[in-house]
């Protein structure tokens, strides 16, 4: 199953995609102002072009696992995305993905790397033990 992950931010949203087997994640690009009409249009195009069957959006919980203002903003974005897409959209804890992205040597944009780390965590969690 091919999955797209989004590391949402009000200014920039990182996008990553899994391979067709659902084992490996790779960064794709960064979408500016993803919650706007143009941003949602771009995300819908990416989801279609990448043939995603599911979208996972990082939920920025606090270190204690609580929902702060950023998490509530992300949840509003997820609702708008669900109205726009024809595939399931779910959230996944994204704590530490930005830190991991900052420590990953790559030519990919940091936000897209954070989305790839988020997606790899989601994929690993779903993998059979």
pLDDT in tens, 12-27: 999 999 999 999 999 9
Q: Domain limits at 85?
A: 3-126
How many residues are given for the chain?
129
User: Per-residue pLDDT averaged across 1-9, rounded?
Assistant: 96
Residue whose entry in the numeric block shows the structure tokens 């043939």: 51
CATH of the domain at 29: 3.30.420.140
- pTM for the model stands at 0.90
Kindly give, in sequence order, each residue whose CB lies less than 8 Å from that of residue 65, ignoring residues fewer than 6 positions away.
93
pLDDT in tens, 45-104: 999 999 999 999 999 887 777 788 889 999 999 999 999 999 999 999 876 666 665 667
> Strands, DSSP E only, in the chain?
3-7, 12-18, 25-32, 54-59, 89-93
Domains in the chain, number: 1
């Amino acid at each position: 199953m091919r999955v797209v992950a989004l590391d949402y931010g009000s200014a920039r949203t990182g996008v990553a995609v899994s391979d067709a087997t659902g084992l490996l994640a790779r960064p794709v690009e960064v979408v500016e102002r993803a919650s706007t009409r143009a941003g949602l249009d771009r995300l819908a195009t990416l989801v279609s072009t990448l043939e995603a069957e599911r979208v996972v959006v990082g939920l920025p919980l606090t270190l204690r696992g609580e929902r702060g203002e950023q998490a509530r903003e992300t949840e509003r974005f997820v609702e708008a995305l669900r109205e726009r897409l024809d595939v399931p959209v779910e959230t996944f804890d994204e704590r530490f993905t930005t830190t991991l992205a900052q420590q990953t040597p790559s030519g990919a944009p940091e936000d897209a790397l954070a989305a790839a780390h988020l997606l790899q965590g989601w994929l690993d969690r779903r993998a059979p033990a």
